Copies of this chain bind each other. A is one copy, B any other.
Amino acid sequence: MTVMVSDSQDVGAALRVAVERLDPTTRLPVAYHLGWCDHIGNPVAANGGKWIRPQLTLLAAHAAGGSTQDAMPGAVAIELVHNFALVHDDLMDQDRMRRHRPTVWSLWGAATAVLAGDALFALAHEVLIESGSPFAIGAMGAIAAATRELVRGQAQDMAFEQRNDVTVAECIAMAEGKTGALIAACGVVGALMSGADSEVIGSLQRYGRHVGVAFQLADDLLGIWGDPRLTGKPVFSDLRAGKKSLPVTWTLCHGGVAGRALADWLMRGERDADGLRAAAALVEAGGGRSWAEAEAERRLATAAAALEHPAIDAHPRCELENFARRLVSRSA
């Protein structure tokens, strides 16, 4: 079974029903963030994200023998949690742009961003609670644990900006929290809400965790070399912020002369255009770019291998493999 256009429409409809419950003051920034309206509430069709996590949740359900209907409340809840994290992360990282538009905190201030995120998190639970699914509580457990991992990853990410001795292993552990945990939760929730056994759930969780790290690697590459017209963020945005992203960390640890030059540049704190271009060239010369590309490939292969379980049919397995590859090829 394939995730159909109509499934996406259902995700969108369910998100709107959930957000409709919010008080008007909180609903506006939430609806704006989700791409449904401008900052004064006029309807627009802006980019509200690619719904990667709901799609993955539904694909995981199909792989586990379940239906779209079984897993839809989980898919919607995870998308709400993802957006809760984005709204809070943009504030914490002081990122002014997301999806080509000003972020919630940059338009309405910190307090509104805190509240909008809190509201999205509360809605995620309400969606699952009211689903009537016998697996709702298990799904909420997976989401709550993933949220804790997400907090850990974000805390590490921020702490790493103050350190200059971050190892590649620490950085991967951070990515497993910040990105891997919620994508792994898509696998768990999709399988769990389909009534799958713990082996199948474990397979889809491993798949998700590796896909999450591959996705973070791709995202880090975009954060350096991505086209601002496609990413919606300024060019070199992660370098400008001094982020210890995976390719940067690899270069610092294993990039020899280029790595030491990159460390010097980070310490100096100069962020002019020439310096940013030179820093990106150092990540490339030090091997960080090619390592990140190769590591993403290895993660995709490990993710695919995790799906080799007799209870997972060939067709949904193939779809999950394709989906992971499309996610990561954004970096091409």
User: A residues near B, CB below 8 A?
Assistant: 21-23, 25-26, 84, 88, 91-93, 110-112, 114-115, 117-119, 121-123, 125-126, 129-130, 136-137, 140-141, 143-145, 147-148, 151-152, 154-156, 158-159
**A-B CB proximity, top 3 nearest:** A92-B111, A23-B152, A122-B147
CB of B115 within 8 A of CB of A118, answer: no
CB of B144 within 8 A of CB of A25, answer: no
CB of B152 within 8 A of CB of A118, answer: no
Asked, given contacts A23-B152, A152-B26, A155-B26, whether A147 binds B130 with beta carbons under 8 Å apart, the answer is: no
The A contact surface, by secondary structure, is helix
In the complex, the count of this chain's copies comes to 2
**Bound-state Cα–Cα, A250 to B232, Å:** 48
CB of A137 within 8 A of CB of B129, answer: yes
**Bound-state Cα–Cα, A144 to B111, Å:** 20
Q: Would you list 22 pairs from A and B whose C-beta atoms are within 8 A, ordered by A residue?
A: A21-B148, A22-B152, A23-B148, A23-B151, A23-B155, A92-B110, A111-B158, A115-B151, A115-B154, A115-B155, A118-B121, A119-B147, A121-B121, A121-B147, A122-B144, A122-B151, A123-B148, A125-B125, A125-B141, A126-B144, A129-B137, A136-B137
**Bound-state Cα–Cα, A137 to B118, Å:** 19
Asked, given contacts A26-B155, A147-B122, whether A110 binds B91 with beta carbons under 8 Å apart, the answer is: yes
CB of B25 within 8 A of CB of A152, answer: yes
In chain B, what residue has the closest Cβ to A124? B144
CB of A125 within 8 A of CB of B151, answer: no
In chain B, what residue has the closest Cβ to A148? B122
**Bound-state Cα–Cα, A118 to B117, Å:** 9
Tell me, rounded to whole Å, the shortest Cβ–Cβ distance linking A25 to chain B. 4
**Bound-state Cα–Cα, A26 to B88, Å:** 15
In chain B, what residue has the closest Cβ to A84? B118
Q: Which residues of B contact A141 (CB under 8 A)?
A: 125-126, 129-130
Q: Which residues of B contact A92 (CB under 8 A)?
A: 110-111, 114-115
Given contacts A126-B148, A130-B141, A136-B137, 11 further A-B contacts (CB under 8 A): A22-B151, A23-B156, A25-B156, A25-B159, A91-B114, A92-B115, A115-B151, A121-B121, A122-B148, A126-B145, A140-B140
